[in-house]
Amino acid sequence: MSIRSLTLALAGAAIGLAGLAGAASAADQIYIPNLVYKTGPYGPSGTPVAHGVADYLAMINMRDGGVNGVPILYEECETGYKTDRGVECYDRVKNQNGGAVVINPWSTGITYALIEKATADKIPILSLGYGRTSAADGRVFPYVFNFPSTYWNQATAIFKYIADQEGGFDKLKGKNFGFVYLDHPYGKEPIPTLDILAEKYGFTYDKYPVPPASMTEQKSIWLQIRRSKPAYVIMWGWGAMNATAITEASNVKYPMDHFIGNWWAAAEPDVVPVGEAAKGYKGATFNGVGTDFAVYKDINALYDAGKGTWSKDQIGGVLYSRGLVTGAYMVEAIKVAQAKFGNRAITGEEMQYGLENLDLDAAKIAKLGLTGLMPPVKVTCDNHEGQNPAILIQQWNGKAWEIKSDWIAADTALVRPLIEQDAAQYAKENNITPRSCS
Amino acid sequence: MSELWFFFEVLLSGMFAGTMYSLVALGFVLIFKASGVFNFAQGTMVLFAALCFVGFLEMGLPMVVAALIAIAIMVAWAFTVERLVLRHLVNQEPIILFMATIGVSFFLEGFGEFIWGGDVHPLNVGIPDDAWFVGPDGAMMIQQFDLSAAVIAGLLVTVLALFFHYTRIGRALRAVADDHQAALSVGIPLNQIWVIVWSVAGFVALVAGIIWGSRLGVQFSLSIVALKALPVLILGGFTSVPGAIVGGLIIGAGEKLAEIYIGPFFGGAIEEWFAYVLAMFFLLFRPQGLFGERIIERV
């Protein structure tokens, strides 16, 4: 955190606290802790997300005085993207300030580590587009939510995009692809789906794991790719790994428009350090990018009032936008819970109801000023991924990300049985009787 | 592409990568030579020096001025470490000094982030970044950036080796490394020597930081490149400047060849641990490292 952003954060915190002092106590505020990482090798990717969440919640406090008049108390705990520190953070914050109503781990590893704990504590985990894919089966994982899409469905949608580019799924037969991934639970998550897609469509793919300590040195991987010339390279990367991979891809003259990152591998920190060489690189996303959305009227007002948590010239990027929509999903889920339990501070258990009954259609999203920034989502008891998992493909033009596709629907018919199978296996191993959602 | 050309491409790329590791390893060697201390903070010094350099560039200063100010800051840092940390630990066990450098490392990382922020800072100092293709149908690729980095590393090593062997300060550094108390007794100003050597290590960190930062952008992942330097040190010896380079070449080439030709049998991603295995294999025959000083203690 720079001096400037520290000053802004302190000023924002002071103003927020002054506004809430006297009016709010632990009993009448909604406590949302956030497990962030603004330091260390993953900090450049974690920082914008954290500021997006913080700004949206601060904006709700400033504009509306909280959710239906109940102020939000937001707090961050630094994990450094390390699982052990994430668990420590969770234990530290879960009972503070009247109890956390929801936890955002921002790491697949931390999410895996918290599933049993948070379920026992009745605190929902919102792992927005990351975490354990099979947690989409709400019958087995009642307290884990991973809408608007999962890694497995994202993998199918990326291959749908590639098939569209090549002229159909039948054109994938016999082709070879490369899969470059962080050697971490997050990076390994889509492999079961890729294996099934390879078998179904008759292609092969080579796996290139990147150990976290070697994420800045990937020469051997890209020399192999130069030799094998895969039709496309797909990347499940994070942190400095992404910029290194894009640099090396450029070095070996790999065609950049055939290199597709997942939605955590296609943001500004991944391409800006690479410069011109990153031009043409593509990535999946599930949110819009930029500041040309109605909600920015209120976000700008937040910054004009000196309550923004970052510097104004940095807002609007891919990851900041993702943080912003995360804040919006949480606030809308709180409203759903309050509609049932009353306009007061809710509990984690009540928030679980709110998340599970979240139904944001296009009209509601428009009302929030978020059209184009977030996709519609409808969560149900048995489907915590939402019912319309889909991605957009964006491309870096050297200065900004441009959306290059319409929404590409995932192959849920293929993925859902896999989710249920994996969830059933988890339930069996952990002696869980899946609840009934009928 | 023929297999032979590919083999040489991997070999050469690995050696180039190794020289990048050597740049970081050099800083460790310098401080170990002068104080017998493994400086845990060297990776963070690489990051901090690069952050200062790129920070001043972003303020609009010319490159030379930014580099000079960054060097001045690293010298000031050397003074600070000597005055606040090392001076109080003269004649303590090496493990105490090592622990102190761990604290120094965490402080410097946090301080750097506090001053310069946690963003990625793109850096372009004009190092050529294209590739040459040689052999039939361009079978072998040589990265101009890697070659430039190797030349810079080579020059740095040559200058440092000459400095250690042919200057009074260099000899004094070696005396201090052998025995603090004995060096003091013959009139070598220990504290001054430590400032000098930490300053030189700071300069080496700046060079390493600029080169690594030109490749990846200056960001906090730079501090973990130190992990790549450890096997280089084990293999080359903690006290040898040329050892850092030769160690880097062997580790770089060895890990890349292993990753490509042996890695598939282990599911890939073996280069991280293979580098240590390779270094330890050499230790079986040369416990002090390839170029390390052989210490004979008589009872």
Residue A275: give its domain's CATH number.
3.40.50.2300
> Has residue B296 been placed in a domain?
no
**pTM, entire model:** 0.86
Nearest to A3 among B114, B141, B267 (CB): B114
List of residues 6+ apart from B72 with CB closer than 8 A: none
Strand A359-360 vs strand A282-285: parallel, antiparallel, or unpaired?
unpaired
Q: Which residue of A has its CA nearest to B256?
A: A220
> Has residue B216 been placed in a domain?
yes
- Split at pLDDT 50, 70, 90, the class of A418 is very high
Nearest to B118 among A39, A214, A215 (CB): A39
- Using CA atoms, how far apart are residues A90 and A92, in angstroms rounded to an integer? 5
- Split at pLDDT 50, 70, 90, the class of B299 is low
- Check: CB of residue B278 under 8 Å from CB of residue B251: yes
Best residue of B15, B105, B106, B219 to probe chain A, by most A CBs closer than 10 Å: B219
Domain that holds residue B190: 3-285
- Using CA atoms, how far apart are residues A415 and B236, in angstroms rounded to an integer? 51
Is the Cβ pair B141, A220 closer than 8 Å? no
What is the per-residue pLDDT for A26? 55
What is the per-residue pLDDT for B118? 81
**In the predicted model, is pLDDT for residue B242 greater than 90?**
no
pLDDT (average), residues A15-34: 64
A279 shares a domain with A155: yes
- Split at pLDDT 50, 70, 90, the class of B184 is confident
Q: How large is the ipTM?
A: 0.84
> Has residue A405 been placed in a domain?
no
**In the predicted model, is pLDDT for residue A12 greater than 70?**
no
List of residues 6+ apart from A410 with CB closer than 8 A: A149, A153, A154, A156, A157, A160, A389, A390, A391
Give the containing element (helix H, strand E) for A178. Answer: strand A176-182
Angle between helices B3-35 and B144-166 (to 10 degrees): 30
A133 shares a domain with A48: yes
Final residue before a domain boundary, out of A266, A285, A304? A285
- Check: CB of residue A145 under 8 Å from CB of residue A126: yes
pLDDT (average), residues B127-150: 88
A130 shares a domain with A244: no
pLDDT (average), residues A22-31: 68
What is the per-residue pLDDT for B298? 65
What is the per-residue pLDDT for B90? 77
Is the Cβ pair A2, B122 closer than 8 Å? no
Q: Phi first, then psi: give them for residue A149, nearest 5 degrees.
A: -165, 165
> Has residue B294 been placed in a domain?
no
Domain that holds residue A33: 3-149+289-388+425-429
A270 shares a domain with A343: no
**In the predicted model, is pLDDT for residue A259 greater than 90?**
yes
Amino acid of residue A159: F
A17 shares a domain with A53: yes
- Split at pLDDT 50, 70, 90, the class of A25 is low
> Has residue B291 been placed in a domain?
no
Residues of A in contact with B220 (CB under 8 A): 39-41, 43-44
E strand residue ranges, chain B: 131-134, 140-143
Structure tokens given for A317: 């990027």
Angle between helices B168-178 and B144-166 (to 10 degrees): 80
- Check: CB of residue A232 under 8 Å from CB of residue B11: no
- Residue owning tokens 């490369």: A178
Length of chain B: 299
> Has residue A402 been placed in a domain?
no
What is the per-residue pLDDT for A1? 46
**In the predicted model, is pLDDT for residue B144 greater than 80?**
yes
What is the per-residue pLDDT for A206? 95
Q: What is the pLDDT of residues A192-232, one digit of tens each?
A: 999 999 999 999 999 999 988 778 889 899 999 999 999 99
- Check: CB of residue A344 under 8 Å from CB of residue A319: no
Choose between A113 and B118: higher pLDDT.
A113
Mean pLDDT (chain B) is: 88
- Split at pLDDT 50, 70, 90, the class of B1 is low
Residues of A in contact with B120 (CB under 8 A): 44, 240, 243, 269, 272-273
Assign A206 to helix, strand or coil.
Answer: strand
Strand A176-182 vs strand B131-134: parallel, antiparallel, or unpaired?
unpaired
Strand partners, A261: A235, A283
Output Rg (C-alpha) for chain B, integer angstroms: 20
- Using CA atoms, how far apart are residues B109 and B218, in angstroms rounded to an integer? 13
Final residue before a domain boundary, out of A243, A261, A285? A285
- The CATH number that applies at residue B136 is 1.10.3470
Cis peptide before A48 (omega within 30 of 0): no
How big, in percent rounded to 5, are the helix, strand and coil portions of chain A? Answer: 50, 15, 35
A244 shares a domain with A350: no
List Cα–Cα distances, A212 to A39, A106, A186, B153, B228, in angstroms.
Answer: 16, 17, 12, 26, 12
What is the per-residue pLDDT for B296? 65
A171 shares a domain with A101: no
Q: What is the pLDDT of residues A358-381, one digit of tens each?
A: 999 999 999 999 998 998 999 999
- Using CA atoms, how far apart are residues A110 and A238, in angstroms rounded to an integer? 15
pLDDT (average), residues B15-32: 90
> Has residue B298 been placed in a domain?
no
> Has residue A233 been placed in a domain?
yes
> Has residue A114 been placed in a domain?
yes
List Cα–Cα distances, A62 to A53, A305, B31, in angstroms.
Answer: 14, 9, 53
- Using CA atoms, how far apart are residues A348 and A94, in angstroms rounded to an integer? 10
A87 shares a domain with A175: no
**In the predicted model, is pLDDT for residue B194 greater than 80?**
yes
- Residue owning tokens 């955002």: A104
> Has residue B179 been placed in a domain?
yes
pLDDT (average), residues A19-45: 77
Total domains in the fold of chain B:
1
- Check: CB of residue A360 under 8 Å from CB of residue A285: no
> Has residue A399 been placed in a domain?
no
A384 shares a domain with A307: yes
Best residue of A3, A37, A214 to probe chain B, by most B CBs closer than 10 Å: A214
Q: Which residue of B has its CA nearest to A272?
A: B122
What is the per-residue pLDDT for B295? 64
A98 shares a domain with A31: yes
Neighbours of A76 (CB within 10 A): 18
> Has residue B297 been placed in a domain?
no
- Residue owning tokens 């060489």: A277
Final residue before a domain boundary, out of A285, A313, A330? A285
- Split at pLDDT 50, 70, 90, the class of B297 is low
> Has residue B264 been placed in a domain?
yes
Structure tokens given for A274: 């690479």
- Using CA atoms, how far apart are residues A42 and A40, in angstroms rounded to an integer? 6
> Has residue A10 been placed in a domain?
yes
Supply the DSSP symbol for B180. H
- Split at pLDDT 50, 70, 90, the class of A15 is very low
A254 shares a domain with A213: yes
- Check: CB of residue A258 under 8 Å from CB of residue A233: yes
> Has residue A393 been placed in a domain?
no
Total domains in the fold of chain A:
2
**In the predicted model, is pLDDT for residue B231 greater than 60?**
yes
Mean pLDDT (chain A) is: 91
> Has residue A50 been placed in a domain?
yes
- Using CA atoms, how far apart are residues B259 and B278, in angstroms rounded to an integer? 12
Structure tokens given for B244: 């850092």
Please check whether residue A413 touches B, CB under 8 A.
no
A294 shares a domain with A275: no
The vertex-B85 CA angle with B79 and B91, nearest 5°, equals: 110
Residues of B in contact with A226 (CB under 8 A): 141
**Residue A77 φ/ψ region, left for φ over 0, alpha for ψ in the -120 to 50 degree band, beta for the rest:** beta
pLDDT (average), residues B128-135: 86
- Residue owning tokens 């490149």: B225
